[in-house]
Structure 1
Amino acid sequence: MGRRSDHTPGELRELLLATGHQLMGEVGYPRFSGREVAKRAGYSVGTIYNVFGSLDALLAAINTRTFTQWAAWLRQELETGGEDRIASLVRGYFGFALARPLLWSAIYEHKVPEGEGLSDADLEGRAALTGIVEQEVAAVLPPDTALDVARFARSLIASVHGHCSYVVSGSFALLDETDPVGSALERVRESLAHHGAKSAPML
């Protein structure tokens, strides 16, 4: 039985979001169930639709929360990682994915239905992560670079992501790659150096 009177709308949204995020971290996207989220929260599954409008909107909000945590992880890595901030970014990318593989994978496994798009809050929450990378990449490139820094940063993210996804899936072990983090960092350094980036202390 639902407990509609137990929480304000804001509290109920947070309860469902926190419960869904915890469940995603436990079981991953393929086994995720809105019904289980509602059950754990003590409400009927219809409450998810009343609060979020759709299960996809809840899933998007869960993934946005993961993005927010990931951005915080990168900031911490940058704060404590020493002078080589590019290396700190790459380590932070891998570190978060390996610490929370099911949450990380869900970001890419959930596809927003065509024509729906993400809410402004979701877009803003996700932009924080790419913003951190863009800022650090811009800091090592020449001030007069002709590059579209935002686009270039996204390309670097894609390169690191490819390496990281192989690690999370276990595929790199089949390729006999013993240092995927180092390999990803080498590719990033090569791209940055090609565009005149100033050097940083090596790992």
Structure 2
Amino acid sequence: MGRRSDHTRPQIEQMLVVEGHKHMAEVGFARFSAREVAKRIGYSIGTLYNVFGSYDRFLLAINTRTFQLWTAQLRSALDVGGADRIRCLVESYFAFARSHRNLWLAIYDHHLPADLTLPEEQDRLRGELTRIVVEEVAAVLPPAAAPLVPSLARSLVATVHGHCAFDLAGAFALMGETEPVEMALARVRESLGAAARSFDGSSV
């Protein structure tokens, strides 16, 4: 039976997100159970829906927590990664996906319903990860490239994501490719180099 008077609503929300995040890491998106999460913290599934409003909003909160974890790990990696920060970005992308496979996949397995908008605070938290990439890309390109940087950064993330998804799915192994990180890094450097040369003839 739910312990309806034991915690405040914000406390219950936090408990559900923390436990939901753990459960997602354990079983993955396809086997995830909101009812199991509620049960683990001693509340009913009705309480979960009262707090979040819908299953999709609950999943959004869990995936946002993953973005926060990812952002923290990327910042830590950059702090100790040395001078080649572009390499660090690419390696960190693969490292996070490989070590948090279920959480990483859940971000892309959950498709946001057309009538559901990402809450502003969650959008801000998720955006921190992209902002780091934008800043690092801007740092290796000439100042004149500034208007191009946000779009280029998103394109580079998509490039690395594709290589990483192939890696996790085993597709590269089937092709006989053994260095997916280096492949992704090479494509990123090619794009950055072309962008740099288009402005001042330099390379990255």
Residue equivalent to 1:6 = 6
TM-score (norm 1): 0.95
Q: Which runs of 5+ in 1 are unaligned?
A: none
Q: Which 4+ stretches in 1 moved above 4 angstroms?
A: 197-200
Q: Output the CA distance in 2 between the equivalents of 1:179 and 1:147.
A: 33
Note the C-alpha offset of 1:10. 1.2
Note the C-alpha offset of 1:147. 4.4
Residue equivalent to 2:44 = 44
Q: Output the CA distance in 2 between the equivalents of 1:94 and 1:76.
A: 15
Residue equivalent to 1:113 = 113
- Checking the alignment, whether the CA contact within 8 Å between 2:90 and 2:184 is kept in structure 1 is yes
Aligned residues: 200
Residue equivalent to 1:129 = 129
| Aligned pairs (5 A) from 1:52-71 | 52-71=52-71
Note the C-alpha offset of 1:113. 0.9
In structure 2, relative to structure 1, the CA distance for the partners of 1:132 and 1:146 (3 Å cut) is closer
Relative contact order, CA 8 A, sep 6+: which one is greater?
A: 1
Q: Output the CA distance in 1 between the equivalents of 2:172 and 2:147.
A: 32
Which amino acid in 2 is paired with 1:11?
A: Q
| Aligned pairs (5 A) from 1:149-188 | 149-188=149-188
TM-score (norm 2): 0.95
Deviations 1:66-105 (A, max 9, x none): 0111011111111111100000000110000000000000
Note the C-alpha offset of 1:148. 2.3
SS at structure 2 position matched to 1:30: coil
The answer to whether structure 1 residue 92 and structure 2 residue 92 are counterparts is yes
Q: Output the CA distance in 1 between the equivalents of 2:79 and 2:141.
A: 20
Alpha-carbon RMSD across the aligned residues, in angstroms, is 1.2
Residue equivalent to 1:104 = 104
Q: Output the CA distance in 2 between the equivalents of 1:50 and 1:81.
A: 44
Moved more, 1-10 or 138-147: 138-147
Q: Output the CA distance in 2 between the equivalents of 1:105 and 1:49.
A: 24
Q: Which runs of 5+ in 2 are unaligned?
A: none
Which amino acid in 1 is paired with 2:142?
A: P
Q: Output the CA distance in 2 between the equivalents of 1:46 and 1:199.
A: 57
